[in-house]
Structure 1
């Protein structure tokens, strides 16, 4: 068990609020900053982080997680940010954690879930002192392609027939094309509605406002692989084998190709863990997949004891 407290610290032009959990220990401990996924993710990443945090703290690792801009106690608005803004926030969180008494700064690294994995990859490439990075359910392709996969699996899982899925994906593709031309929300909406849309797909677009549309446009073609190629530290890639939001097999291939690229730094080793039957949050029947917590903790511990 350890001590947990609410904290605030300076992000990149914003004030970030989060939770810091530190193990009971007589000597300094390693640490990890946990960065949540897409949308308005808070310090608990919608209930995903607490069990992971508790296990890491019990294993002697300090954990800092925080509310994304404009969420919970953090100022600003994530919809007004770029990926570089979010990466700068993660870097500030890393410096804050490293500056705490009892934390071994030199072996404190980054963990990102889903979109947060792209954030921590970018944060890692912007500096030379990140000792290791973990990406959890993070796509290896551009977000437009990942979201298209998620849309297709969602609709098929909801029972939509092949014709309906094809019509929905055509509407999705029209929106992406409009975003790539920097179209405004009104034009994107016209493109979305340019052909009949199956009723089950209407909700995909119904809640998007102008600020979120601008954020979506900035994110559409972000590719995490160039950042993976620039890594100078070990990387752990984790996927649920039954992830319906991210094509896990293709993403593993892309991260592996980056790791074997002749330009990849020799320090940037790659470890891949895939948990069969687990979903995007690496859950099976509502709980973390068997072996997940032990595998994560073992890998982090191995890279903090060196």
Structure 2
């Protein structure tokens, strides 16, 4: 009997928690419209979020550009709190499933950063030629790997944008790889000598990748490393290997110099993915030299790579528990002021 009572109590508590969650969950203040547009012969599926109760011909539109990984239009829920915060002041938002994710055709692992930039150009073309919507301003926001994508938008032709926002953008692919390696080895308790050895191996790995050898050669290279070190390799899949091979030369420096619209670059000082000190310094130096009047760089205290509160949301690979916690916290998961700053810049190009 006591066992049955405990089960009933547990189920009742679970029901009450779920009920409280759905009651507390904020209602969407925007209407989501499914969209489809063509990019390099693939049809991409996404969503355009229009704020409720506001004129539809004088809104600002912010286009979201994903970071790394197989991400859905809403980045598995991460964007939704940002969308609600923006919609409250009349900012529309647009995003799409990455190629091969959700209802989008293609394969995102077959892309280099220029191909991803072309996707953004195609999304802009779709919006501007649509008969359904008119926007007074259009800007883009890129997260993490999106920081390599957005500076490429003007590579082949001028793209007219009202503003650009880059969140936790690295500058150089190989330097970011070194930073990730350093952070991983520190978490594993390695000393300075062991970290130096790890970085030397990283350099050798980069040199191998730059040779553009096939996947079978890569497997042989990793087997040879294992025979020397005795450490099992962290093997990339075939698709991931060719993706890294395509993008290992990525560097945002020249693209940042060419930008022709106001830019807001955001960083978190607890970022485990990107060296925020190095990246923010490079951004500041470029902006001071080439765009002194229209660019802002800001670092947020106790903020993760995703600009969430470090104490509660610091994880390299978020799991199911992390996502439940994030959904429960909503906007409160982000560090203080960051969502207001994104909204202010989207509306007025200043914070």
Q: Compute the TM-score of the two structures, normalised by the length of structure 2.
A: 0.78
In the alignment, the residues of structure 2 paired with residue 45 and residue 124 of structure 1 have an alpha-carbon distance, to the nearest angstrom, of 25
Deviation at 1:156, TM superposition (A): 1.1
Pairing 1:92–2:134 present: no
In the alignment, the residues of structure 2 paired with residue 124 and residue 53 of structure 1 have an alpha-carbon distance, to the nearest angstrom, of 26
Pairing 1:249–2:283 present: no
Pairing 1:48–2:78 present: yes
CA contact (8 A) 1:230 1:265 kept: no
In the alignment, the residues of structure 1 paired with residue 205 and residue 162 of structure 2 have an alpha-carbon distance, to the nearest angstrom, of 39
Q: Compute the TM-score of the two structures, normalised by the length of structure 1.
A: 0.88
Written as runs of structure 1 = structure 2, the 5 A alignment for 1:69-84 is 69-84=99-114
1:159 — aligned with what? Answer: 189
Structure 1, gaps ≥5 residues long: none
Pairing 1:138–2:175 present: no
Deviation at 1:100, TM superposition (A): 5.8
2:319 — aligned with what? Answer: none
Pairing 1:296–2:318 present: no
Deviation at 1:197, TM superposition (A): 5.7
Moved more, 55-64 or 126-135: 126-135
In the alignment, the residues of structure 2 paired with residue 169 and residue 265 of structure 1 have an alpha-carbon distance, to the nearest angstrom, of 34
Moved more, 15-24 or 92-101: 92-101
1:217 — aligned with what? Answer: 245
2:55 — aligned with what? Answer: 26
In the alignment, the residues of structure 2 paired with residue 11 and residue 58 of structure 1 have an alpha-carbon distance, to the nearest angstrom, of 31
Pairing 1:169–2:199 present: yes
After superposition, what is the alpha-carbon deviation per residue over 1:12-39, rounded to whole angstroms, capped at 9, x for unaligned?
3211111211012125211011011012
Secondary structure of the structure 1 residue equivalent to 2:77: coil
- Cα separation, partners in 2 of 1:254 and 1:265, compared to 1, 3 Å: closer
Pairing 1:118–2:128 present: no
How many correspondences in the alignment? 294
CA contact (8 A) 1:174 1:191 kept: no
**Which residue of 31, 35, 40 maps to 1:7?**
35
- Cα separation, partners in 2 of 1:62 and 1:196, compared to 1, 3 Å: same
Kindly indicate which of the two structures has a greater share of residues assigned to helix: 2
Larger Rg: 2
Structure 2, gaps ≥5 residues long: 1-28, 314-332
